[in-house]
């Protein structure tokens, strides 16, 4: 074993000891005292009406450079004074590189960093299986190549899904899991796919679809449900979809930035289910919350003729009526998608087999938008619907997209308010998709395995003490912090929670050290394989300042046959010049001086070995990413197996990263391991990453 291998082995062994205590930790925070809270927001009165305006040319390209004086805004045909005006840029990115290279973006953002809020509602209740899979590919492409820093995104199926993944987030790992869990809910050949209790000819087994090409419906119901009642199952599914949209709008109402809803569906039948009024209510709610919906029909071109899947029982005795009903179904399903989009200021993308193109056009159209605000005359906040019209003076060649109006009323709060304001503040902050940095926190979960190959997780919470208001008393520096946290599994259930108070009573030397190096709190938890999210909340008692943090950890089944990796551990102590990295180069902070270096280590589980000598064919590649783009891409090289490894089940490896002339910024170290022995097996690649900063 050479010197470097020995150093690396010592470091991995030391990591097991360092995470078991709570102590002061190093932190270099040169600008901490100069930063201000990013929670400062502009207060807008309830009587200010704000409109998101998208202006495009005839080719659908976003138009920039317009001024306040270029716009005319009418409220119920009366010209209004535009009191608020701004141009917001939300242009995304295009990843350059091979399709297997993902771009890592910041995993948590504050309210001031939000650029776009995008909610994808994938209506699996009204989609054929092939449309679900097509939508899944569209979402994966968006996450990996179109999502940009400042995006807050949600993927939501009305048919239900895993609680952990149904949340707004900037964490691509959460979104990839949400997209990967989309599943077809119905298996029907209907032009407007839906579930039905109808027992007529052609109904799918188990009520999972209505008669093919017919209007379907509940027995005894005539066309349109006018002389009878709608099919209960079809009506319930439509109302469930609309309820999902309503709940989504309520959640988006509180969020900043351009708020886009992307409704991916083959549409639903409003007339047949008597839900036209319900859709109107959803649209009114969206306009009040400034949520713009775009509809995407993923089915592509539909010839609406006979297909090989149509049987004689489906067609019946009258081919003409069969085809007429099919066309009526199609038009009615398209109407629901078109109405939702146009009446909220969006567009409806249809009749294209390239569903990604529709999303790309949507993103291009919204790469910039104008925010216009006006105050109605006194007494005009009358609870009625007001029609709004926006135009660009003297530019008939430009297309202005905006919602058609607003209801001049305030939403009444739902539910009983929490009587304890501090408890209410904590619940709101820790459940928010946006983090608070009044107190700066850095939360890092790590996992390894025990001697029995059982996984356990250690969380490191670093608290920046430079923003705390210590009280000097009797030669000591005192402060009190409330610390609360939750660990949530993939079902959305809390598997661990805690709340305690940190009473700080520091000597002058310790106080000075804490200001520059910060505070560290740790917690160890035995867990099962699975995906977990950690959420942390810290509040200073004296000032009321708040800090929140969240992070995701995917703990693999270390006893399975799937290639997997432990967390990545970093340190500077075992490099040639550890002092050059500065005081912030600890495991919990990972803030390194420019031009320095740090070591990284990890364990590889379940490699495939051949022969009596247990020879493996593992290769490793490292990349460094900045704002989603690779700034360094290493070559694939054979994995160096360090002493202490248990080949092939547990292999220790690592390396040293030279920071060189990297400019100060936040980065991501990505390590990918390839098992060549598995060839094209999907289990042949494992990827892990960790954030760090250069200062």
Q: How large is the C-alpha radius of gyration of the chain? A: 28
Q: Say what the pLDDT of residue 8 is.
A: 40
Band (pLDDT 50/70/90 cuts) for residue 477 is very high
Surface-to-core class of residue 563, CB atoms within 10 Å of its CB (0-12 exposed, 13-18 middle, 19+ buried)? buried
**Among residues 163, 54, 61, 178, which one has the least CA distance to residue 120?**
178
Phi-psi map region of 646: left, alpha, beta (phi>0 left; psi -120 to 50 alpha): beta
* Cβ-contact 95, 628 below 8 angstroms: yes
The CA distance from 445 to 553, in Å, is 7
Higher per-residue pLDDT: 542 or 47: 542
For residue 226, pLDDT over 50 is answered with no
Name the pTM for this structure.
0.75
What is the band of 443 on the pLDDT scale with cuts at 50, 70, 90? very high
Q: Which CATH architecture has domain 111-183+223-366?
A: 3-Layer(aba) Sandwich (3.40)
- The enclosing H or E element of 331 equals helix 319-342
**% of the chain surpassing 70 pLDDT:** 78
CA distances 576 to 27, 57, 149, 379, 597, Å, are: 21, 58, 35, 73, 8
Largest Cα–Cα distance in the chain?
97
- Fold annotation for 1-10+564-695: Immunoglobulin-like (2.60.40)
Strand partners, 258: 116
Q: Where, residue-wise, is CATH 2.60.40.1930 in the chain?
A: 1-10+564-695
Segment 94-139, tens digit of pLDDT: 433 334 455 567 888 898 888 889 999 999 998 889 899 999 999 9
Residues of the chain with CATH 2.60.40.3880: 31-39+436-555
Tell me the average pLDDT across 191-205: 55
**Which band of pLDDT confidence, cut at 50, 70 and 90, is reported for residue 473?**
very high
What is the CATH code for 31-39+436-555?
2.60.40.3880
Using a 10 angstrom Cβ sphere, with 0-12 exposed, 13-18 middle and 19 or more buried, the burial of residue 665 is exposed
**Please, where in the chain does CATH 3.40.50.410 lie?**
111-183+223-366
User: Which two tokens mark 290?
Assistant: 């400034």
How many CA atoms lie less than 13 Å away from 599 in the CB half-sphere?
22
Phi then psi dihedrals of residue 368, to 5 deg: -150, 150
Give the span between the Cα atoms of 167 and 180, in whole angstroms.
Answer: 15
Note if the bond before 648 is cis, omega within 30 degrees: yes
Predicted confidence (pLDDT) per residue in 83-102, tens digit: 989 888 766 554 333 344 55
Rounded mean pLDDT of the chain? 80
Q: Which residue has the higher pLDDT, 415 or 494?
A: 494
Higher pLDDT, 362 or 539: 539
- Across 306-310, 328-332, 363-367, least confident range: 306-310
């Amino acid at each position: 074993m050479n010197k470097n291998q020995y150093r690396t082995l010592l470091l991995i062994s030391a990591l097991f000891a360092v995470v078991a205590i709570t102590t002061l930790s190093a932190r270099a925070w040169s600008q901490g005292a100069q930063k201000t809270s990013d929670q400062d927001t502009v207060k807008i009165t309830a009587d200010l009406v704000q409109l998101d305006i998208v202006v495009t040319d005839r080719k659908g390209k976003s138009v920039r450079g317009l001024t306040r004086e270029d716009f005319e805004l009418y409220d119920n045909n009366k010209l209004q004074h535009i009191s608020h005006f701004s141009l917001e840029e939300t242009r995304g990115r295009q990843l350059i590189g091979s399709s297997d290279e993902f771009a890592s973006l910041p995993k948590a953002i504050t309210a001031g960093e939000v650029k776009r809020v995008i909610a994808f509602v994938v209506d699996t209740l009204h989609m054929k299986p092939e449309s679900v899979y097509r939508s899944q590919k569209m979402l994966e492409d968006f996450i990996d190549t179109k999502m940009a820093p400042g995006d807050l995104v949600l993927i939501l199926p009305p048919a239900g899904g895993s609680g952990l993944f149904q949340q707004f987030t900037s964490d691509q790992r959460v979104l990839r899991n949400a997209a990967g869990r989309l599943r077809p809910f119905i298996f029907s050949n209907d032009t407007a796919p839906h579930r039905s209790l109808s027992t007529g000819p052609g109904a799918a087994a188990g009520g999972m679809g209505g008669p093919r090409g017919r209007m379907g419906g509940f027995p005894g119901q005539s066309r349109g449900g006018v002389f009878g009642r709608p099919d209960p199952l079809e009506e319930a599914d439509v109302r469930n979809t609309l309820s999902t949209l309503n709940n989504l709008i309520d959640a988006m109402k509180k969020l900043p930035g351009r708020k886009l809803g992307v409704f991916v569906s083959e549409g639903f039948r409003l007339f047949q289910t008597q839900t036209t009024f319900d859709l109107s209510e959803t649209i009114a709610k969206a306009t009040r919350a400034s949520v713009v919906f775009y509809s995407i029909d993923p089915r592509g071109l539909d010839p609406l003729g006979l297909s090989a899947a149509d049987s004689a029982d489906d067609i019946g005795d009258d081919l003409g009526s069969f085809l007429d009903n099919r066309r009526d179904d199609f038009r009615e399903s398209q109407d629901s998608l078109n109405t939702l989009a146009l009446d909220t200021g969006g567009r409806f993308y249809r009749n294209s087999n390239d569903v990604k193109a529709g999303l790309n056009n949507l993103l291009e159209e919204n790469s910039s938008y104008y925010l216009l605000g006006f105050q109605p005359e006194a007494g005009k906040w009358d609870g009625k619907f007001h029609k709004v019209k926006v135009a660009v003076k003297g530019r008939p060649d430009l297309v202005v997209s905006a919602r058609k109006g607003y209801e001049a009323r305030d939403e009444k709060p739902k539910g009983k308010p929490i009587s304890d304001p501090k408890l209410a503040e904590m619940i709101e902050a820790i459940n928010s998709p946006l983090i608070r940095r009044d107190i700066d926190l850095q939360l890092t979960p790590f996992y390894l395995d025990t001697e029995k190959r059982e996984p356990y997780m250690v969380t490191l919470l670093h608290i920046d003490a430079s923003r705390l208001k210590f009280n000097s008393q009797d030669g000591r520096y005192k402060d009190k912090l409330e610390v609360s946290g939750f660990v949530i599994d993939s079902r959305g259930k809390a598997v661990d929670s805690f709340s305690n108070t940190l009473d700080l009573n520091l000597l002058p030397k310790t106080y000075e050290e804490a200001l520059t190096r910060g505070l560290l709190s740790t917690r160890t938890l035995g867990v099962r394989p699975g995906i977990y999210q950690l959420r942390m909340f810290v509040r200073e008692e004296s000032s009321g300042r708040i800090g929140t943090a969240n992070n995701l950890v995917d703990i693999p089944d270390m006893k399975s046959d799937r290639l997997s990796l432990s967390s990545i551990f970093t340190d500077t102590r075992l490099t040639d010049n550890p002092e050059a990295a500065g005081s912030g180069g600890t495991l919990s902070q990972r803030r390194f001086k420019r031009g320095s270096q740090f070591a990284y280590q990890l364990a590889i589980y379940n490699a495939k070995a051949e022969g009596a000598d247990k020879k493996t064919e593992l290769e490793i590649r490292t990349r460094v990413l900045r704002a989603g783009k690779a700034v360094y891409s290493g070559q694939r090289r054979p994995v160096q197996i360090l002493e202490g490894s248990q080949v092939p089940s547990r292999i220790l490896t690592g390396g040293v990263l030279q920071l060189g002339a990297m400019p100060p910024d936040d980065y991501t170290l990505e390590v990918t391991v390839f098992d060549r022995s598995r060839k094209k097996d999907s289990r042949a690649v494992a990827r892990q990453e960790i954030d760090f900063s250069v200062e």
